[in-house]
Homo-oligomer: A and B are copies of this chain.
Amino acid sequence: MQPKSFSIGIDIGGTNTAFGLVNRRGDILVQDRLRTQDYASPELFVQAIHKSLQPHIEQYGKDQINGIGAGAPIANHYTGEILMSANLLWKGAIPLQQLLHDAFDLPATITNDANATAIGEMTYGAAKGMRDFIIITLGTGVGSGFVANGQLIYGHDGFAGELGHTIAVRDGRLCGCGRRGCMETYASATGIVRTAMELLETHRDDPKPEQDDWLLKIYREGGEISSSGIYKAAVAGDPLAIEIFELTGKILGETLANAVAITSPEAIILFGGLAKAGDFILKPTKRHMEANLLSVYQNKIDIIPSGLSERDAAILGAAALAWDLSH
């Protein structure tokens, strides 16, 4: 049978949902988005996506569409269900895969957003051709996807790849998951702000700052410290901002060193907001990872930024997931 030319990728977030029609080269031919929270039920939500895509499905030919892939924060590849965050109208486990299949009359599959991104990187991005790699998504939280032997590790129950919830600091910072010291309380957009606040507080009473102490000035004046603000301060040469990235890279690098000893990847790909800080985060992460690696792994493993734009990655990854659907 001739392979089909297109698949549909859906990236579901708590606030927004983006979706599109993708070809095998990774071009997004059609793209649309909607506000997840505008829909009173998952059925209405799926109907809205279908309504938006239907004319394009007719245009490109339904018989040329291989299937639908969807990524969502808490999604289980095996059960086909998603759990949305508590503040949404939708409650409990939602059989998203079944709803998509019913609405579109096409095969559907789902996974969590970090796993979708891993598949996107493997199919279209920085991990093209790699059989063993790790992707870390450094956003509000930290997601991760592990690929070994050319396959995504889903684990026995579909919940593998929660590196953000490994304990990086024993009895460390309180995490949203209820435990202490999770890596994501340090090495995420929110984690780096917590690090900044702690560091700035210890420097609050320093002699008046030099001209390049941007963050301390903002902090003393009661302004908001954000992860993008820390990045801008680092670019401007603020020594405290650079130290904040150093502390963040230390926790991330130490955590990655332990993960490397488990799956021995060819490369680690950093994705998401914090990864955009470039060398400010890549260099300390790499240095602390190397310092904590068993010698057999040293100087072998690249830490590289994502090869996909953040806007497109999740749609591409979700669509790539659908290439494996059989009929």
Contact = CB atoms under 8 A, between A and B. Distances in A.
Interface string A256-269: 01110111111000
B261 A166 contact: yes
Contacts of A153: 148-149, 262-264
Contacts of A205: none
A45 interface: no
A90 B198 CA distance: 54
Given A165-B261, A262-B263, A156 B178 contact: no
Contacts of A297: 157, 159
A81 interface: no
Nearest to A296: B159
A156 B265 contact: yes
A113 interface: no
A116 interface: no
Interface residues of A, number: 42
A133 to B, nearest CB: 8
A149 B155 CA distance: 7
Given A146-B262, A167-B258, A262-B146, A294 B155 contact: no
A52 to B, nearest CB: 32
Contacts of A295: 177-178
Contact of A266 (B130, B156, B258): B156
A264 B154 contact: yes
A166 B300 contact: no
Interface string A106-150: 000000000000000000000000111000000000001010110
A160 interface: yes
B294 A264 contact: no
Contact of A148 (B144, B160, B167): B160
A296 B153 CA distance: 16
A292 interface: yes
Nearest to A169: B170
A185 B294 CA distance: 14
A163 interface: yes
A254 interface: yes
A209 B121 CA distance: 62
A179 interface: yes
Residue among A149, A156, A161, A177 with most chain B CB within 10 A: A156
Interface string A165-185: 111001000000111000000
A243 interface: no
A85 interface: no
Given A148-B155, A170-B170, 19 more contacts: A132-B155, A146-B262, A148-B149, A149-B151, A149-B153, A151-B151, A155-B264, A155-B265, A156-B264, A157-B296, A160-B262, A161-B262, A161-B264, A162-B294, A163-B262, A165-B261, A167-B292, A178-B295, A179-B294
Interface of A: 130-132, 144, 146, 148-149, 151, 153-163, 165-167, 170, 177-179, 254, 257-259, 261-266, 292, 294-297, 300
In the A-B complex, the 8 residue pairs with the smallest Cβ-Cβ separation, listed nearest first, are A155-B264, A160-B264, A156-B266, A166-B258, A132-B156, A162-B261, A148-B153, A165-B294
